[in-house]
Amino acid sequence: MSQPTTTFDPNPPPARTLAYQSKLPKLPIPPLEETCQRYLTALKGLQDEAEHEKTERAVKEFLEGEGPKLQERLQTWAESKASYIEDFWYESYLSHSDPVVLALNPFFVLENDPTPDRGSQLPRAASLIVSSLGFVHDLRKGMLDPDTVRGTPLDMDQYTRLFGTARIPTARGCKMEVNAEAKHIVVLRRGQFYWFDALDDDDLPLLTEREVLRNLQAIVKDADKTPPTEVARTAIGVLSTENRKTWSSLRSALAKDRTNASCLQIVDESLFVVCLDDAVPVDLADLCSNFLCGTYDLQGGVQVGTCTNRWYDKLQIIVCADGAAGINFEHSGVDGHTVLRFAADVFTEGLMLLARSINPSAPTLFHAPLSPHSKSYKPPKKGAHNHSPSNSSSLYDTVPKKLEWRLTPTLRVGIRFAETRLSDLICQNDCQALEFRGYGKNFMTSHGFSPDAFVQMAFQAAYFGLYGRTECTYEPAMTKAFLHGRTEAIRTVQVESVEFTKTFFSEAPAAQKISALRKACERHVKLTKECGQGLGQDRHLYALYCLHQRQQSGNLDPSPDDPVPNGSLSNGHGSREPLPQIFADPGWPLLSTSILSTSNCGNPALRLFGFGPVAADGYGIGYIIKENGISVVASSKHLQTRRFLDTLQGYLLDIQRILVQLHLSANERPAPFVDHAGILRDSKTGRPINGHGYGHDEYVNGYEDTMPGYSFFDSGDVELLGGRKKSPYDNVGKILPLSDY
């Protein structure tokens, strides 16, 4: 994935953010025959011969029967749409009935702020809030650079749903509501809600960073009057973790009271939510769990973890007690690439504000001067448009206010059981992280590999090494080069990747293993390019499936506010057409169930990135490929998550050893020679060789000595390349010939 960021321009042209929006092409609907062939290719590595032959018959029947008719209907239906998949895609997310926590919402962990003054929680939170307000201002004023990839402009529509957006549960499903005029933010502390205005009507910030900090200090002081053991009793936020239909019912009960309805409106229409946690993560796993689902911590049988301090229906900026910060976002309207741009820009702005504190003339990333309605506003000495803060400051509520919820016995019971069900979910899931520092992008590219393809094959090898089989794997390819583009599914398991894993775990020579890896990576690169061009199989077939289902229900444009259907499907004439054979075949659910759901989301502003598994017996894997390392977050339900990451690390070290040894063998230096004067010289340069050892043999032997017999399954103990120091006792004692035993 590209690394989006804004470039500084002191005088940005107006409306540049959407400058290319009207010129973007629509996502193509591929020819049906090509899509079906891709579908068969994607399944070939996952099925045995008999299963694949059955799927081939189902596809043939589809192409000769219902398929062309559905294709024609889809083309006609899409003529009036910005994207043929968009409506179906939103419906798939918004009709999700399970809790969104752990199932839908991803998270980012930001790198630590290098500014000394922002090393603690509240200064870091204040900085992130002020930088976020600058981003909102520039976005709304059209001053942000449009996203591009290698000069190709990308769709910017998702940014309209990044702020002021809420996921609202209904009896039929969920809907998104967007407040494009949002001016205030909501702050959570110990499960209690506070709010204050942050922007004026011109989207200029009303508060300085110091004033935001003062507000946060007041919020913490008030919230911390509530003992930790009392928080869970009234933690309204845990209701957003419920099953969506249950949450819809409880929300309706909550909104019957006018005060509660007003509180809900304030939360829904806020720019974003800031969660101030009163806990410090003890390790990487705890850190990731905190941003994914909150922490589980019982005291005397009472939940006191951070899991009660969330609102999952909106964009959340989460800051721990030690200043560690991250983002948890509602995924329906935005993809990771969009939120990544926001996170990267906000992080960069923080660094530029640090520079400005040293040099007042230093530029900042955003162009949001302090509002003239701010109490701290100082009008220019030669300004013709001076505003009077004293007359206008009362228009805005910049002093934090606490939301007072009125809880009935029914709502208190709902909160109680929502918390216990959430606690169950947290206990059932395991989130672990690996910050691999052995090598990264530089090493992979130096050996001729695409970094993403290289890491994807590492996931395949690690899973095979742990379980002895290959399972369906998903990676999203961004399609934002098209109007309202989202993603296409890269199905990593191909014939070439299956051949690679089998070869790697065989007795094949090292060169053959690397050759198989190269073929698998080359296939993955080709597949990624095709999917980025909208030429995949998942989205097209899913659109045909959804169109068929809508035709059967007699409603081509359903709404979450529609009455709940009675469960019977018909085409409006009382009859129900059978499901096309391609969707009734076992191959369809096989390809739709991603045992390994993976996503690559990298930027220097990010430390870690992750999400929950999408299959009950699978892994959710978020990864960042850095210049000299790889960060991986894996989560699963009742699986050996830590062991999977340890196995992955073992593979990464093993494949490094093989590549280095092959490289050294191919570039082996001739043996040194002794000249007439008895001086040992390098055979290429003729220079004298001083000291012990020749270097090359020591380099190779260093790898061989650390791989005692079991190769892959022992490679987790290998010291990192270049990090091994020669022991002062290296030549002391006799080496035992273990092979004799």
Same-domain status, 285 and 332? yes
β-pairing verdict for 273-276 and 316-319: parallel
Say whether both 135 and 261 belong to one domain.
yes
Whole-number Cα distances in Å, 255 to 1, 176, 589: 42, 18, 39
Cα 681 to Cα 673, 675, 685, 692, 704, distances in angstroms:
5, 7, 8, 13, 26
Rounded to an integer, what distance in angstroms lies between the CA atom of residue 146 and that of residue 388?
36
Q: Decide if 363 is inside a domain.
A: yes
pLDDT tens per residue across span 29-38: 999 999 999 9
Q: Which helix (H) or strand (E) holds 436?
A: strand 429-436
The verdict on 415 and 505 lying in the same domain is no
- The answer to whether 45 and 495 have CB atoms below 8 angstroms apart is yes
704-737 burial, b for 16+ CB within 10 Å, e for fewer? eeebeeeebeebeebeebeeeeeeeeeeeeeeee
446: its two tokens: 């130096």
624, 655, 686 - which closes a domain: 655
Examine the fold and report which residue of 655, 674, 699 is the final residue of a domain before the chain moves on.
655
| DSSP annotation string for 106-155 | -EEEEPPP--GGGSSHHHHHHHHHHHHHHHHHHHHTT-SPPPEETTEE--
The alpha carbon of 5 is separated from its chain's Cα centroid by a whole number of angstroms, namely 17
- How many C-beta neighbours within 10 Å does residue 219 have? 26
Percent residues over pLDDT 70 in the chain: 87
* Cβ 550 vs Cβ 558: under 8 Å: yes
Q: Please tell me whether residues 414 and 472 are part of one structural domain.
A: no
Is position 675 within any domain? Answer: no
In angstroms, the Cα distances linking 614 to 26, 96, 485, 637, 642 are 29, 12, 22, 10, 18
Q: Residue 513 gets which letter from DSSP?
A: H
Write the CATH number for 230. 3.30.559.70
> Do 592 and 637 reside in the same domain of the chain?
yes
**Domain-embedded: residue 684:** no
Report yes or no on whether pTM surpasses 0.75.
Answer: yes
- Establish if 401 belongs to a structural domain: yes
Asked if residue 705 belongs to a domain, the reply is: no
Average pLDDT of span 463-471: 98
Q: Which helix (H) or strand (E) holds 633?
A: strand 629-637
* 257, pLDDT greater than 50: yes
**Tell me, what's the pLDDT at 381?**
66
Same structural domain, 403 and 456: no
Cα dihedral value 672, 678, 679, 683, nearest 10: -20
For residue 328, what are the β-bridge partners?
Answer: 107, 316
- Which is the catalytic residue, given 184, 331, 524, 540? 331
- Check whether residue 439 and residue 420 sit in a common domain: no
Question: Does residue 661 lie in a domain region?
Answer: no
Same domain, 476 and 562: yes
Secondary structure (3-state) at 434: strand
Number of domains, the chain: 2
What is each CA distance from 342 to 131, 234, 436, 605, in whole angstroms? 10, 32, 26, 10
- Domain ranges, residue 423: 113-379+391-429
**319, 121 contact by CB (below 8 A):** yes
Q: Of 625, 655, 685, which residue sits at a domain end?
A: 655
130 found inside a domain:
yes
Residue whose token pair is 């090292």: 510
pLDDT tens-digit series, residues 278-337: 999 999 999 999 999 999 999 999 999 999 999 999 999 999 999 999 999 999 999 999
> Same domain, yes or no, for 533 and 597?
yes
| pLDDT beyond 60 at 557 | yes
State whether 226 and 192 are in the same domain.
Answer: yes
Specify whether 331 is catalytic: yes
Q: Is residue 418 part of a domain?
A: yes
- Return mean pLDDT, the chain: 89
> What are the tens digits of pLDDT across the range 575-615?
578 899 999 999 999 999 999 999 999 889 999 999 999 99
- Per-residue pLDDT tens digits for 127-154: 999 999 999 999 999 999 999 999 999 9
**213 and 173, same structural domain?**
yes
